[in-house]
Amino acid sequence: MNSKILLNIRSTILNGYSKRNLNNNVASITKIHREIYTRTYPTKVVLPNGASINIRYHEPRKIIRLPLDLSSLTEEEKKMRLEKRKPKRKVKISDTIEDNFNAKKYLKYLKK
């Protein structure tokens, strides 16, 4: 089989023309072979397992994170995730500040 491929390549080179087979699979490996194509932006996609891939996306985004399937998690992991989603309670700190500022002391410095 390899010899048939080599003979085919040799015959195309000797005949002076090269045949280029382009289809949708070639674009994903090298580049899009079009003179005019829509504007796309380089974007990183993070898969649920933590792996990341680079794609071209039609909107200018830096990163896209795919959602995790909650049915595949254990009960403990589900509880942890749900706790992270809930809003955190704000802690109120009340400090009493002694204010002994007297504005009447500085009235003499104001120009009329």
Tell me if 57 sits within 8 A of 64, measured CB to CB.
yes
| Angle 104-105-109 from CA coordinates, rounded to 5° | 100
The two structure tokens encoding residue 104: 């009447």
> Residue 6's pLDDT band (boundaries 50, 70, 90)?
very low
> Residue 11's pLDDT band (boundaries 50, 70, 90)?
very low
The pLDDT tens digits of the residues spanning 63-95 come to 999 988 888 889 999 999 889 889 988 888 887
Q: What confidence score (pLDDT) does residue 52 get? A: 94
Return the number of other C-beta atoms located less than 10 Å from residue 88's C-beta. Answer: 7
Q: What confidence score (pLDDT) does residue 3 get? A: 53
Strand pairing category for 41-46 and 63-65: parallel
In the 8-state DSSP scheme, what is residue 71? G
Indicate the residue type of 111: K
Report d(CA 34, CA 30) in Å as an integer: 12
The pLDDT tens digits of the residues spanning 33-66 come to 666 667 889 999 999 888 999 998 888 999 999 9
Report d(CA 46, CA 67) in Å as an integer: 9
- Section 87-111 average pLDDT: 84
